[in-house]
Structure 1
Amino acid sequence: MPLTAQAFWVLSPGRGAICRQELPPRNPDQLLVRTLYSGISRGTESLVFRGGVPLDLADSMACPMQEGGFPGPVKYGYALVGQVEAGPEALIGRRVFALHPHQDLCLIDEAACRLIPDAVPDRRAVLAANMETALNILWDGGAGPGQRIAIVGAGLVGCLVARLAARLPGVELTLVDIDPARADLARHLGAGFALAAECGALARSCDLVIHCSASGEGLSTAIALAGTEATLVEASWYGDRPVAIALGGHFHPSRLRIISSQVGMVANNQRPRWNFARRLDKALQLLDDPALDRLLETEIPFAELPAAMAALADGRGMPAGCPVVHYPPVDLQEAACIP
């Protein structure tokens, strides 16, 4: 008998549903994976939910096991933690991470599944894709010991970058945000904290500035913090939104360098030696850090994901951390048919 899975689909901009679909027969190179948790990458997935992916970037924005296309119907997501139910005997019962959309039962190529280290709990493992992004950002920026580093935007990616940067010897690290409530989180992650409106003491003094706030105001703040010939890494994704920034003042006299960072390619200085699998395995290893549990603030039952995504997409319920989807049984009679 064919197996029936349930998956979250964006049917059209602003409208999602849990849909059922029959899985094809498993081929010998695939694993049958029962999902334990998945994570929501709020910035990117909110853009997808709102229909904000520019059509000319549809190919580069596609996630590895996506179905459908933008603006919808589309099955999108890339942070799934599950347990192997069928496949090679040595893998039965093992926990794996995969860049797969939100779905309760999945057929995934064995090569696309990465084993989760025993020391990393199920829920924390959903951070692997975002940790991979954070690692790539630091590579792109050339972060090193002793630098004065500012990270503008204390969302999930900004916090993960801060946690990694805090491990560099002698680093002077400040997490900058508009929300004073995130000061305690910054200290928990090993960083100093400054409000965006009150960070003048850092002006024109940083060796490396990383921008993660996805706002023009945040990018202007980041430019103001960069010292002479410093590097500014733009790690935000704006989708189809135009962004106005001020490139007057000290920008040209200080010979600032702005570079983009995007996880779809391994950072240039690592690419001759690192592939995607090695980078993702390293991200999973870096999750052996209990301090990161503070970034898992919201848990959503799978059946409630359509409503939760609508709330996240319009800015309601904006925790600093990663919303985590858990997978209790869902009544198939309540699920819509696949689009």
Structure 2
Amino acid sequence: MTVTAGTGRTRSLWYTGDLSCAIQTTEFARPQTGEVMVQTLFSGISRGTEGLVFRGEVPECEWQRMRAPFQSGDFPFPVKYGYANVGKVVEGDAALMGQTVFSLYPHQGVFTLPSGSCVPVPADVLPERAVLTANMETALNAIWDGKPSPGDHICVVGGGVVGLLTAYVANGLPGSTVTVVDTNAARAPVARALGLGFSLPEDAPGDQDLVFHTSATPGGLGTALTCAGDGAAIVEMSWYGAREVPVPLGQDFHSRRLKLISSQVGTIPAERQARWTYRRRMETALSLLSDPVLDRLISHRIPFDSLPEQLPDILNKASDVLAALVVYDGESKPTTP
């Protein structure tokens, strides 16, 4: 990658059509005052959202709201999409020079963005683990929406990365009992390593004080409703894209006075907006990643160059993947002529 006096050329991943993607050459500008140039170390793949993008399942009514902060292109295709980037500041703002930072940037080797859009990674958080920041933000936002209390019996239906992180944060409440429910028994060792209970759907606990649903399947939502105790809330964290999803609101849903609450990381809950900024939330999410046990959530490491070949399998709903870490070891460092 060569940087000239004003611009540079690097490589980035683009979703180019239904079930297709490619690495393309991308230009970026040299940093101006208040900006930094970042060389990517790692990026993280959001299997849920990026899977919807890859399959062309982002509904037209959400094309603007679902834009990633530094997305290029427009839905449906082609788009440069992603929001979990950890890199090193190599040029620009002196206050950030040489620091490892997290930003909501797509999969790209080198890029320039405003200094305020970078958050330094704490010293006790490994750069690899920091790619989970966006997922942890989603978990934190859901905890705010669900409002769990100490001593609660809490169930999380869906043992993916977001579900496990939500359960992990909820488990920090004194006296709480947290169970992860998933159809994949291979999730059990990871859940237990995080200090959580685990069960298959047929053995899921009932009479729960609070339930989070993250499986993005109608069956999982049905299980979540079954787990909830009378008068309890089910926090729906799944986003289904363009799919229509049947919700079992018959039988005893009304008589048991269950509450179905939506949670979406794009908006901070209204009661917190006067005090919480997106940056404060991101900084808090990063601070919650200090525990080395969370490294168990990174199940796959993918060289950047291999993304076009490996992404179809990684984003396949049937794949046994938790967090997929994209490694940029092969990316050349920026140079000036």
Work out whether residues 72 and 79 of structure 2, in 8 Å CA contact, stay in contact via their aligned partners in 1.
yes
Residue by residue over 1:242-293, the C-alpha shift from the partner in whole angstroms, topping out at 9 and shown as x without a partner, is 1112112221001111011000001233222101000000000000011100
Is the 8 Å Cα contact of residues 82 and 105 (structure 2) preserved in structure 1? yes
- Aligned residue for 1:98? 103
Corresponding letter in the other structure for 1:57: E
- 1:245-264 maps to which residues of 2 (within 5 A)? 245-264=247-266
> Aligned AA for 2:241?
G
The CA deviation at 1:106 is 0.6
Alpha carbons of 1:329 and 1:183: their partners in 2 closer, same or farther (altered >3 Å)?
closer
1:182 aligns with 2:171: no
What residue is the counterpart of 2:326 in the other structure? 325
For residues 165 and 26 of structure 1, what CA distance do their matches in structure 2 show?
40
Alignment correspondent of 2:276: 274
Show the counterpart of 1:3: 8
| Residues 1:165 and 2:165 aligned together | no
The 3-state SS of whatever aligns with 1:22 is strand
**8 A Cα contact 1:140 1:268, kept in partner:** no
Deviation of 1:315 after TM superposition, in Å, equals: 3.2
Question: CA–CA distance in 2 between the matches of 1:91 and 1:330?
Answer: 21
Post-superposition offset of 1:316: 5.4
Equivalent position of 1:140 in the other structure: 145
Q: Secondary structure at the match of 1:227?
A: strand
Partner Cα distance (1:171, 1:112) in 2: 35
Q: Is the 8 A contact 1:139 1:269 kept in 2?
A: no
Structure-to-structure mapping, 1:190-229, within 5 angstroms: 190-199=195-204, 202-203=205-206, 205-229=207-231
Measured in 1, the distance between the counterparts of 2:316 and 2:186 equals 21
Question: Contact 1:49–1:309 at 8 Å: present in 2 too?
Answer: no
Structure-2 residue corresponding to 1:128: 133
Asked if the contact 1:140–1:269 (Cα under 8 Å) also holds between the matched residues in 2, the reply is: no
Structure 1 stretches of at least 4 aligned residues deviating more than 4 Å after TM superposition? none
Secondary structure of the equivalent of 2:272? coil
Match of 1:75 among 74, 80, 91: 80
Which whole-Å CA distance do the structure 1 matches of 2:296 and 2:305 have between them? 24
* Matched residue, 1:116: 121
Q: Which letter does structure 2 place at the counterpart of 1:91?
A: L
Question: Displacement, 1:133?
Answer: 0.4
Amino acid of the residue matched to residue 329 of structure 1? G
Instruction: Give the equivalent residue in structure 2 for 1:294.
Output: 296
Matched residue SS, 1:89: coil
Q: Secondary structure at the match of 2:271?
A: coil
* Cα distance in 2 for residues equivalent to 1:259 and 1:221: 15
**For the residues of structure 1 that align with 2:28 and 2:301, how far apart are their CA atoms?**
27
Aligned mate of 2:234, from 232, 235, 253: 232
- State the TM-score, normalizing by the size of structure 2: 0.94
Aligned alpha-carbon RMSD (Å) = 1.2
State the one-letter code of the partner of 1:276.
Answer: Y
Could you tell me whether the CA contact under 8 Å between 2:102 and 2:118 is conserved in 1? yes
Shift of 1:125: 0.4
Q: AA paired with 1:17?
A: A
Structure 2 unaligned residues grouped into runs of 5+: 333-337
Which residue of the partner structure matches residue 335 of structure 2?
A: none
**d(CA) in 2 for partners of 1:187 and 1:112?**
35
Aligned residue number for residue 334 of structure 1 = none
Change (3 A) 1:154 1:316: closer
Report the Cα distance in structure 2 between the residues aligned to 1:151 and 1:172, rounded to whole angstroms: 11
Report which stretch shifted further, 50-59 or 181-190.
181-190
Normalised to the residue count of structure 1, the TM-score between the two structures is 0.94
SS at the partner of 2:138? helix
**Distance 1:60-1:174 versus aligned 2 partners, 3 A rule:** same
Amino acid at match of 2:317: G
Q: Which moved more, 1:238-247 or 1:297-306?
A: 238-247
Whole-Å Cα distance in 1 between the matches of residues 88 and 141 of structure 2?
27
SS of equivalent to 1:48: helix
Asked if 1:57 is matched to 2:57, the reply is no
Aligned residues: 327
